Structures are given as structure tokens and as C-alpha cells.
A and B are shown apart, each in its own frame.
Chain A
Amino acid sequence: MLKLNVNNICKNFGGLQVLKDVSFSVAGPELIGLIGPNGAGKTTLTNILDGALKPSSGTVYMNGERIDTRPAYGVARAGLGRTFQVTRAFRRMTVLENLLIPAMAMRATARKRDFEQKAQEVLEFLTIAHLRNEYARALSGGQQKLLELGRLLMLDPNMIILDEPFAGVHPRLMEVIYRYITEVNAQGKAFIIISHDMDTIFTLSRRLLVLNYGDLIADGDPQIVREDPTVKAAYLGEDEE
């Protein structure tokens, strides 16, 4: 079972303290929402968890192994996958090639044809199977988001961090993404979802983390967190995004 321990993470950019002593842990296939106003440190926290940034102090352990000292690819191989706020498909590669990359990167002796069947299943699940031989740049913005989600399934991590999965997405695609999160979560993968879409995040997540200017000000059941006076003051009450 997945166990993630985030201990006393601080991050400074020059004199600016972006994360202040953030600690929390994840046990098993939780479905966690991460909210906070712009500049709260959500993406910085994601980048630290994923190995793209090193924390100024503090540690991250995944299943007993320290991962904050690893490079990003090492964290991915340890079982943590993420999407980006701005979609980052490999635009001049085909949809199928996009999916093969994480699958091949995970297994040193693998061959492309070992994964073509799995890629096909992933694409069908995401309703974009007909696009498999198209270049990723030919896909719409929403389809590129689905492609990113598909790459994560090929990576097959224990924990998935989604940075703004619902931003700028048509309601019909939103349904597909919603279904993706609930079904993949039911298969035993933990999720941390960053979103400004309050309605979705409250119905979807079963635990909510609230960041405010680098402080983790709340951590708990979404309904209880919603009534928390600090959270209200910092975020929900003032600014209904």
C-alpha cells in the first residue's frame, strides 16, 4: 500500500519563502484536493514532490524511500506521476509515441510492440483511440489533456498529481476526466488534484489540503475544512473563484 510522508518542507526563492514547514502524509489510495489562492505554493509543492525542484529543507519519503534527493526521472520510476498546469504533450510525436515513452522508460529491456496493446486500451478508455497515429500537435487542447492523462496510465505510478485538470475543458471532456479520476482511484492509485473549480473539488475529493502563502492552513474532510474559519478568511469567504 502506498505511503507518502512529506516532512517539514520549506522552499525559498531568494528572499521569498514560498513554502513554510509543510507536512502531511498520504496512506493508501486517497483522493486529495489541494486548493489555495494564486501564489499559495501549490505548483511549487508539486514540483518538489515530483523531483523537479529540491526543497530548501525538509524531506519526502515514499514507501520508506527518500525521494526528495532523487532527480525527476527517479521519482517517476519510484511511482509518482504528474501532469502540468499548461499541457505538455510531445507535439511533434504521434499520440502512440507519446504513450510509449513512459512505458519504455520504466522498463530498460522493453520493446515498443510490448506496449501497443496497452496503449490502445488506454486510448479507448480516454475516447481518443482514433487519433493514435496523429501528431500530438494536431489534437485540440482538451484532447492533449487526455493524452497527458493517458501517459500517466502508461507510467503506472502509485500516486498521481494533477495540476488543474479541469481548467479550460469542455463539459463533455470534463466528464471523461472525472470518470478517469474515480475509476483509476478505485483501482488503487492515490490522487492529489490541484483545482480552482470549487464545486468539482468538493464533490470529488475525500480530503482537502489548503495552502495559503506557503502555510498549510487546513487538512481534513472537505465539508469540515469548508467551515474552518481560517480557511474562510484566507480563501473561500473572500474570493469565490
Chain B
Amino acid sequence: MSRAVLYRVAGLVAVVILLALPLASAELDGLGPLVFNSYFMHLAITAFFYAILASSWSLLAGYAGQFSFGHMAFMAIGGYTTGLIGKFIRFTTAPTELCADIPLPGNWWLVILNARRVGTIDETCIDMAKTQTLPSGALIIFPPVWASIAMGLVMGATFGLLVGWLVLRLRSAYLALFTIGFSEILRAALSAEIPITEGQSGLELLPLFPSGINLFGQTFSDTSKIPPYYAMLLLFLLVMLLMTWLASSRFGLFIRAIREDEEAAAALGVNIVRYKVLVFVITSALAAAAGALQAHYIGIITPNILIILQMSLVIAMAVIGGLENIYAASVGALVITFALELLRTNIAIGPIRIDMSLWRLVFFGLLLMLTLRFQRNGLLFPLLERLNRAGIAEETVAMRDASN
């Protein structure tokens, strides 16, 4: 069996297992053993979320060499974009006169709440319009969740373009400092602008499927874990598919050349400006999409997702898995998300009780330090490399001997 076939089969098996996992969930009555409770399903969704972030960050940092600390900021931009759209935008079948009304084709109006400073937090302009200006029977609808998630992705790409262009001439430590600065400014702004973002108390979002959804002939409520599981899994698979294609195409070849030596790549005809900006745009858009989806799943987003510890967690996941491979990074994230939760179980050694909910982060930090010291390419990447490059050294020697 050739290596390419082996990888495809392994990938397919993994996808089938992930797709079938909810069959063993307690929520699906009678379809399988009740192994996984909703807490497990929640962990799996979170794991996919981190896997998207860690693998897209590995494309940016491991392939293109752009060691950015701003990845979580793009994730937050995605989440806040969709959240703010949900908070401030409505579609109506008649003008409200009190909010800002933008006419749309087909007798619809796009309504922006609060834009004319009418109303209060408790009674917005649309609440007032309901009783005062809107004719009875006029419809007021929220923007569709999928559309506002898509807007989150677009916004992530836009900010990725801006930041990617600004950091073009910055390398290593300077790039890291710039992106930390960007992330911190965003966190401060989100905390400060309470009338818009709700600040530290957090912006509430609609659930992913506000009116529930029907899957496999069973109706799931808006609080069920199974529809979000499939939504996040689908995004994860799409992201991996896209990045696999990118990494194996000219894009992957060029960004790795840029990582190795920018000037030499330019001297060989590579448009380094285009590819450096492009890798920021793409990875930021992916992070933003994950952030938007996760925000709807959790139902609330706060500026604290931007703290440096969160970014470090994503970096650690990618590094422990293997920075220079999107699969290693994503598996690293899946394993570590579960490991960190399983490590919460307290240990008792004789009379000494170890509170693992605190100590697990210490062990995690230790693992990170040991990885960096002894396995700089991560724990999984070397295994993949060994599999990938099996027989190449022998081949080289054989070809050398044959040509002499």
C-alpha cells in the first residue's frame, strides 16, 4: 500500500469515527450504548474549536514562519462580529422610524438599533417601534445565524489583511510584540466600550440553532449538544481540507520558502508580499469562523478569551503536537483539550491530596518545557516524518552508488 493511500484510509477512518461518535451519546435514544454524556460532547466541541485554532496557527507560524500572538484576537473578531450583528441588526417589513432604517429590495428594511440614540438598554428603539410606529402584523426577524457567522469570517479576513500588511517588514520578536499589542488593544477596547460590547459582563448571542433542528428524524432543542457537535466538526473538516490543499499547492511551497529565506525566495520570483499577506488573511478568516461558531455555541463572549494565557494554550497545543504540520497541531489540540479535563481528577497519595484542578496547569507547563527542550518538532510530527521519509536515505545511497 502506498503512503498516499495509507494516509487517505487513515483520514477516512478518523472522519467516520468522529461522525459516528454522537451515536454513543446519551442524547440519541436507542441508537447505541449511552457512553457519552453531554459533558463529553461539550469537550469534543471545544476540542474541535481548539484544533481549528491550533492548526491554522501552525500554517501561519510553522509553515510561513510568521510567529503571531494575535491569532486569538482574530478569533474574537469573528465572535464579536456575529454577536454585534445579532445585537444591533434586525430585518423588518416596515420602517421603524425610530432606529436607522435602510430600505432593501422586496419591501424589507435593514434596521440598525441604537444608531439614532433612541431608546435605552432596557427598551431599545425596536421595542418602542413595536408599540408606537410599526403597523400591526409587521415582521421583525433576527439576521440568520449562519449569515452573521459568515460576516464574522469576512471581518476576520479584513483585519487579517490589515494586520498582515502592517507587519510585512516585522520579523520574529518584533512581529510577536506587535501582535501581542494588537491583541491587548482589542481586549482593552472590547472591555471599555460597554454600551456596545457589554464589556466584561459579556455579549450574549443566539444559540446556533435558535429554533432547534431536525437530524436523523429526531428533533433537537436549541440546547442539545449534538447539532453544535456536527457544526463544529464540519467546520473542522472543511478547514483541514482547505489547509491540506493549500499546503500541498504552490501556496504551501512558497510560504515555506518565505519562512526559510525571504530574500532568496524573492530573488527566485516569489511575490513575498502577496503570500505573506495572504497567509494572514486566510488563517485569520479561519480563526474568526471558529470564534464565531464557538461564540454562538457557548451563547456568550467576553473579552477574557483574549487573555495571553488563551493564546499560549493554542501555541502550546501546536508546539506539543508539532508546529510544522497541520495534522500534528490539530491532533495535539484534540488530545490536550481532553487531557486537561481528565487531569482535573484529584489524586491522593497516602495522606497527601493533590488538587489537580490547579496542579494540572503545572504539569501541562512542564510538558511544554520538556517538549521544547527535547522534541522541538513536537511529539507527533517526528512520527509522521519517520513514516513520510522511510526509505529515503537508503534510496539516496543506492542512487549515489549507482551513479559512481
Q: Measuring CB to CB, which residues of chain A are less than 8 angstroms from any residue of chain B?
A: 50-52, 71-73, 76-77, 81-82, 84, 88, 90-93, 97, 100-102, 104-106, 110, 112, 127, 129-131, 133-134, 151, 155
Contact = CB atoms under 8 A, between A and B. Distances in A.
A110 B263 CA distance: 22
A105 B268 contact: yes
A121 to B, nearest CB: 14
Contacts of A102: 268-269
A104 B250 contact: yes
A93 B260 contact: yes
A151 B268 contact: yes
A130 B403 contact: yes
A101 B268 contact: yes
Interface string B263-306: 11111111111000000000000000000000000000000000
Nearest to A151: B268
A90 B264 contact: yes
Contacts of B271: 71, 73, 105
Contacts of B266: 51-52, 71-73, 76
Which residue, B259, B261, B268, has most C-beta atoms of chain A within 10 A?
Answer: B268
B256 to A, nearest CB: 6
Nearest to B391: A133
B270 A88 contact: no
B261 A90 contact: yes
Nearest to B250: A104
B263 A52 contact: yes
Nearest to B273: A71
A110 B272 CA distance: 18
A129 B401 CA distance: 12
Contacts of A155: 268-269
Interface in B366-404: 389, 392-393, 395-397, 399-400, 402-403
Contact of B263 (A72, A93, A100, A127): A72
B75 interface: no
Contacts of A151: 268
Given A82-B267, A88-B263, A155-B269, 20 more contacts: A51-B266, A52-B267, A72-B266, A76-B266, A77-B269, A90-B260, A90-B261, A91-B260, A92-B256, A97-B253, A101-B254, A102-B268, A105-B271, A127-B403, A130-B396, A130-B403, A131-B396, A133-B392, A134-B396, A151-B268
B395 A76 contact: no
B328 to A, nearest CB: 15
A105 B254 contact: yes
B288 to A, nearest CB: 28
B267 A105 contact: no
Nearest to B403: A130
Contacts of B61: none
Contact of A50 (B260, B267, B272, B393): B267
Contacts of B395: 133
Interface of B: 250, 253-254, 256-257, 259-261, 263-273, 324, 389, 392-393, 395-397, 399-400, 402-403
Nearest to A148: B264
Contacts of A50: 267
Contacts of A88: 261, 263-264
Contacts of B250: 104-105, 110, 112
Contacts of B254: 101, 104-105
A127 B400 CA distance: 10
Contacts of B272: 73
A94 to B, nearest CB: 9
Contacts of B389: 133
B265 A101 contact: yes
Contacts of B400: 130
A57 B267 CA distance: 22
Ranked nearest first, the 9 interchain pairs of A and B with the lowest CB-CB distance are A130-B399, A105-B269, A72-B266, A90-B260, A76-B269, A102-B268, A88-B264, A130-B400, A105-B270
Contacts of A82: 267
Contacts of B259: 92
A123 B250 CA distance: 21
Given A90-B257, A93-B257, A104-B250, A133 B396 contact: yes
A112 B257 CA distance: 15
Contacts of A73: 266-272
B262 to A, nearest CB: 9
Contact of A76 (B260, B267, B273, B399): B267
Nearest to A93: B256
A140 B250 CA distance: 27
Contacts of B397: 130
Which residue, A50, A93, A101, A134, has most C-beta atoms of chain B within 10 A?
Answer: A101
